[in-house]
């Protein structure tokens, strides 16, 4: 339970409007400051998101959300759980927290100048360590539950590759002995490590050393299989230093027989498969990957599944619809499954198949009226896709009086925490 002292609380409350105005400048300065002092930490952070500014925006939103909701445990709890899983996936250790705290407080002092009084800095020092203590304890429990240590990776062998339309590549991974890499819950992800050639420093300076990077990819098949499958989207037209370098590296370099180093499975986006209330899976683009893991798991255990399952997916066309074969198979094996697939711009070849139902964007309200004609009841909703897509679906569900506790989302990349703002 996060409880500030009476001395610190007024300063944290007063920081909310300041963070709204200066939060991005503060977090940008924080990262520059920390990486200058600790370049060895760059591998823990997505340098593409650093270059694009997405990570700085995400941290600014997180700090603001923390300050604005510090007394609202119900609002902060799911966000903290998500952060704990993300931290564990990249191997965050307790020793990292003093470094972050020192440079965050230093950035506050340097960006705010005279406004950063000793009392304000003391309040933020208290607030930071209050949060850090909660995260350190939760991460320790998660490492123990998973049976791993911070940063531990296992070497896995690629035993199959398959193109999924124009954009995606499915990668099957097994242990060197040919077995499953480990247990996971459908909807979870693994961190994949690659080493990228770093862009040169320029100006006649020696080239920078190769950069180790970790990226998280949802596991896109059922846990019962003797493999893990990742389905990775290629990002088109990438400039240097923007998000997508690791994904494109996998598209270019992955070969059968190659070894990839991966973390255990993490992530709090995993639907409860038992129960009677409808389970509604809403995705767009490569956001289909965790949803297919859920579908395949349900299909393998169809005799144990009685709850209605609604699968709603949006793609630009059939060439951008990954894992289509899995959806076709799920339709055959799951009698409680209702599906609706929308292609925004279907191709001529798409009209020869029955893999999509509607032309245009997904209208969630209309789709639910079709797939759940008796009403939403106590349905649970799981969203995954581009942030703008999920924001639209989130607002639609709120308009249908769905409680926020029944809406779950998986974010590929930094989360701007819209639901807390």
Task: Give yes or no: 97 in active site.
Answer: yes
Higher pLDDT, 15 or 282: 282
Is the alpha carbon torsion for 12, 86, 297, 335 positive or negative? positive
pLDDT digits (tens, 9 = 90+) for 317-355: 999 999 999 999 999 999 899 999 999 999 888 877 767
- State how beta strands 189-196 and 228-233 pair: unpaired
Of 139, 167, 193, 410, the catalytic one is 139
Contact 287, 269 (CB under 8 A): no
Model confidence over 376-395: pLDDT tens digits? Answer: 989 999 999 998 999 999 99
Q: Could you tell me the domains of the chain?
A: 9-146 (1.10.490.10), 154-262 (2.40.30.10), 279-420 (3.40.50.80)
What's the pLDDT band for 303 if we cut at 50, 70, 90?
Answer: low
pLDDT (average), residues 304-312: 87
pLDDT in tens, 107-118: 999 999 999 999
Taking 70 as the threshold, does the pLDDT of residue 28 lie above it? yes
User: Beta partners for 171?
Assistant: 161, 230
Helices 9-37 and 118-146, axial angle in degrees (round to 10):
70
Query: 349: exposed, middle or buried (C-beta count within 10 Å: 0-12, 13-18, 19+)?
Result: exposed
The pLDDT assigned to 76 comes to 84
Sheet holding 407-410, edge to edge: 358-359, 337-343, 309-315, 279-284, 380-384, 407-410
Sequence-ordered strand ranges (E) for 145-222: 154-164, 168-174, 189-196, 211-218
pLDDT at 417: 46
Q: What is the DSSP letter of 42?
A: G
Place of tokens 């591998």: 43
Would you state the pLDDT for residue 238?
52
CB count within 10 Å of CB 229 equals: 23
Catalytic residue among 97, 143, 189, 382: 97
Q: What is the per-residue DSSP string for 187-201?
A: T-EEEEEEEEPPPP-
- The β-bridge partners of 283 are 313, 384
Which DSSP symbol is given to 349?
A: G
| 219 DSSP 8-state letter | B
Please check whether residue 315 is in contact with residue 347, taking contact to mean a CB–CB distance below 8 angstroms.
Answer: no
pLDDT at 416 over 70: no
Q: pLDDT exceeding 90 applies to what percent of the chain?
A: 68
Whether 260 and 193 have beta carbons less than 8 Å apart is answered as: yes
Tens of pLDDT, residue by residue over 84-126, are 999 999 999 999 999 999 999 999 999 999 999 999 999 999 9
What is the residue-wise DSSP string for 352-399?
A: GSSS--EESS--HHHHHHHH-TT--TT-EEEEES-HHHHHHHHHHHHH
DSSP symbol at 421: -
Q: Which helix (H) or strand (E) covers residue 22, if one does? A: helix 9-37
pLDDT of 206 > 60? The answer is no
Q: What is the mean pLDDT of residues 263-271?
A: 95
Task: Give the pLDDT band of residue 44 (cuts 50, 70, 90).
Answer: confident
Give me the residue label for tokens 């929308």. Answer: 342
Tell me if residue 217 is catalytic. no
Average pLDDT over residues 249-257: 95
């Amino acid at each position: 339970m996060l409880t500030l002292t009476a001395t610190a609380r007024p300063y944290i409350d007063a920081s909310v409007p300041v963070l709204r105005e200066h939060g991005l400048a503060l977090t940008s300065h924080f990262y520059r400051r920390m990486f200058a002092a600790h370049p060895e930490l760059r591998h823990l952070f997505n340098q593409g998101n650093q270059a694009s500014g997405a990570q700085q925006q995400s941290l600014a939103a997180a700090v603001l959300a923390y300050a604005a909701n510090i007394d609202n445990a119900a609002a902060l709890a799911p966000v903290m759980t998500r952060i704990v899983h993300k931290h564990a996936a990249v191997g965050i250790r307790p020793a990292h927290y003093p470094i972050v705290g020192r440079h965050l407080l230093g950035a506050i002092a340097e960006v705010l100048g005279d406004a950063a009084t000793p009392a304000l800095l003391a309040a933020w020092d208290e607030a930071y360590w209050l949060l850090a203590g909660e995260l350190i304890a939760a991460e320790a429990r998660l490492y123990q539950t998973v049976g791993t240590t911070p940063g531990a990776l296992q070497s896995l062998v690629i035993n199959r590759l398959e193109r999924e339309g124009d954009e995606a590549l499915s990668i099957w991974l097994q242990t060197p002995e040919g077995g499953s890499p480990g247990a996971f819950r459908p909807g979870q992800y693994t961190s994949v490590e690659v080493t990228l050639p770093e862009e040169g420093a320029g100006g006649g300076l020696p080239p920078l050393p190769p950069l180790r990077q970790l990226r998280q990819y949802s596991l896109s098949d059922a846990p019962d299989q003797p493999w893990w499958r990742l389905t990775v989207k290629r990002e088109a037209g990438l400039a240097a230093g923007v998000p997508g370098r690791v994904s494109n590296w996998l598209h270019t370099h992955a070969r059968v027989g190659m070894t990839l180093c991966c973390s255990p499975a993490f992530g709090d986006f995993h639907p409860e498969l038992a129960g009677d209330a409808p389970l509604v899976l809403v995705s767009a683009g490569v956001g289909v990957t965790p949803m297919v893991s859920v579908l395949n798991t349900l299909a393998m255990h169809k005799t144990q599944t009685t709850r209605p399952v609604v699968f709603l997916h949006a793609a630009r066309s059939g060439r951008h619809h990954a894992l289509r074969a899995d959806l076709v198979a799920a339709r055959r094996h799951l009698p409680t499954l209702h599906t609706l697939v929308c292609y925004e711009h279907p191709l001529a070849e798409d009209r020869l198949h029955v893999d999509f139902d509607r032309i245009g964007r997904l209208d969630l309200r209309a789709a639910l009226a079709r797939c759940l004609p008796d009403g939403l009841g106590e349905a649970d909703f799981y969203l995954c896709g581009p942030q703008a897509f999920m924001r639209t679906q989130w607002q639609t569900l709120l308009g249908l009086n769905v409680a926020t506790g029944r809406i779950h989302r998986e974010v590929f990349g930094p989360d701007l925490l819209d639901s807390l703002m």
